[in-house]
Amino acid sequence: MSTDIVPVNAASARSALDVGIMRLCGRDLAVAATHIREVVPLPETLYPDFTGHADCIGGIVIRGQVIPVLDIAPRLGFPPRSGGSGVVLILRHEDRRIGLVMDLVSGLARIPGERVQPFHRSQPGPAQIIGHSFPHRDMLVGLIDAEAIFALPGVAHAVETGSDAKRRLRSDTRSAVLVSVADTHLAIDAAIVVATLPGVQLRPSPAPASKWAGVVHYLGLEVPVVEDLTLFDLSGSAAEGQGGAIIVVKLDEKCLLGIRIDRVRSIRQLDSDSVRPLSGALAERLTLFAGAVRDREGLQSLYFDSDALRANPRLRMLGALSREVKAEATTAPGVISGAQGNGMQQAYVIFRMGGRHCAAALATVKQIIPLPDQQSGAQSPGSALRGMATYNGTPLPLLGISPVEEGRSAEKPMVLIVEQAGAFSGLVVDKLENIVRAAEQRRPGPTGQGRFIQARVGGAAKAVPLYDLAEEVDRLSMTGAAPARALPSPAVPVEGARAGA
C-alpha cells in the first residue's frame, strides 16, 4: 500500500501520517510511526540514572543497550502518574534512542494531513514537545515532536554504533503491531493496518454469516469484521462483549477487513533479523504466516505474511463485502443524523441501567472501565453504595441503582468514572451499549423539560433520555437507589474527557 508518510513539519497538507496512539495521565498522545522503535513493558525497577537531568527517571536495558527513560508528564503540566504499571515508548531519530514513559499504547491510526493542526505562539521560542494536535474519533490527540524530545537541553540519549548501527541501516526496517486474541499472540505489518478502533464500535452485520462477526464503520465504509481464528488456520476467538479492539487491514484498494482482538500489546520496529522462520511442518500448515517475532517479554508472536493475507481467497471474499454507507451512518455507530436535532452534535455514551437505556455527554465521563475484580464489600443497606475500589490510587465508591450480583448477566457490568472537585465516583451500569455522536433535543410538550437524543440501540431507533452524571452521583451518594432522573437542562461538557479501555 503506497501512502506518503511525512514528518510533522512537512509542507504538504494532503499527505497521510501514520501514528501510534498512546495515553499518559488521562490524555491522548500520538507519535509518528517513523519515530517509534518499539514499545516495551515498564519494568518494576528502572536502572539508576547518572545523567542528573530533571526529566530522566532511570534507564532500561534492551538487547544490551542502556536507554535513558524520561517522564515528560511534569513538563507538559500533567498530574503525576499513578500506579507502577505502564509501558516505555522507545523513540528513534537517526541513530539515537530514548525512552518515554506512557500509561498504555492504544494502537495505530492513519491521520489525513489536513487534520493535523499546529499550535501558533505569539513569540518564537524553543521547539514545543507537543506542537500539533488532531481530532481522532471523539478525542483530541496531542502529537509529540520526537525531534524536540531529542533536542531538550542536557538530555542524554543512547546512540547505536558500530556493526549494530550498520546492520540496522542496511536492513529493511518496518513497524509491526503486536496483538493478543484468545491467548494467541499475533504480529501484523503496520503497512497494511489502516486503523485501530475500539471494540464498542462493532455493529451487527446486515447479512449474518458463520465467519462474519459484524461490521464497523470507517471513513464512509462499512467494513466486515471477523473474530474466528480458524480463518487463519488457528483456533479460538476474541472474548465476548464489547471490549477489546478491531484492527482494520487493507487487502487492496477496495477491500478492507476488520480483525477483532482482545488487546493491542505493543508496537515495535522489525528488521530482517527479527522474523524467525517456522519449522517445516508448521510452516506448511500455517501458510498465512511468515514466521515468528519475539517481544521484550519473551513472548513469541506469529507474524502475518502480508502478501499471503492479501491473496487469500477466503479473506478477500469477506473483504469484498466492504461497501459505502449512507451519509447519516458515517458520523458514528448508531447515530441518526440529519436536521432532527436542534443543537450542535457531540459525543454521548449510551448505557443500560436498571432496565432502561440512558445517555450522557461523553465529555462528563472521565473514563469507562470494567467493574473491578478487586473491590471491598462495603455495601450500605438502603443506599446505592455497591462497594469500594481504587482508581488512580484514590478510593472509588461504586454506586448503582441495582445490586451487582455475580452471574446475573452474561456481560460484565461497566463503570463510568465521574470526577467532581478532584474526587472520583464510579457509576455502575448494566451494559455499555454504544458511543455515538448526536444533537440533543428538547422533549415535546408545554413544559419542554428534559432532553434526549435519537440513536440506534440494538438495531432499533430510540429516543434515549439524557442524564447529568454528576447530579446522578450526588443523588445516589445521599439517598437510596431510586430510578434515575432525566436532566432538566443541557449538560455542560467538560473538555478533555474520553472513553478508556
Q: What residue ranges define each of the domains in the chain, with the CATH number in brackets?
A: 16-170 (2.40.50.180), 174-325 (no CATH), 345-478 (no CATH)
Dihedrals phi, psi of 285, to nearest 5 degrees: -85, -40
Strands 414-420 and 460-465: unpaired
Which helix H or strand E contains 11, and what residues bound it? none
- pLDDT (mean) for 120-134: 75
pLDDT at 190: 83
- 212-263 pLDDT, tens digit per residue, is 788 888 777 888 998 888 889 888 888 877 677 888 898 887 789 999 998 8
CB count in 10 Å sphere of residue 89: 29
Is residue 98 over pLDDT 90? yes
- 334 or 176, higher pLDDT: 176
Q: What is the pTM of this model?
A: 0.47
What distances in angstroms separate CA 71 from CA 36, 187, 296, one per listed residue? 17, 28, 20
pLDDT at 484: 38
Is residue 412 over pLDDT 80? no
Strands (E), 76-138: 87-93, 96-102, 104-112, 117-118, 130-136
Cell representation of residue 416: 463510568
For 92, residues 6+ apart whose C-beta sits below 8 A from its C-beta are 35, 36, 37, 146, 269
Is residue 354 over pLDDT 50? yes
Is residue 344 over pLDDT 80? no
pLDDT at 7: 39
pLDDT at 444: 61
- Do 87 and 3 form a contact (C-beta atoms < 8 A)? no
Which helix H or strand E contains 465, and what residues bound it? strand 460-465
Dihedrals phi, psi of 355, to nearest 5 degrees: 85, 0
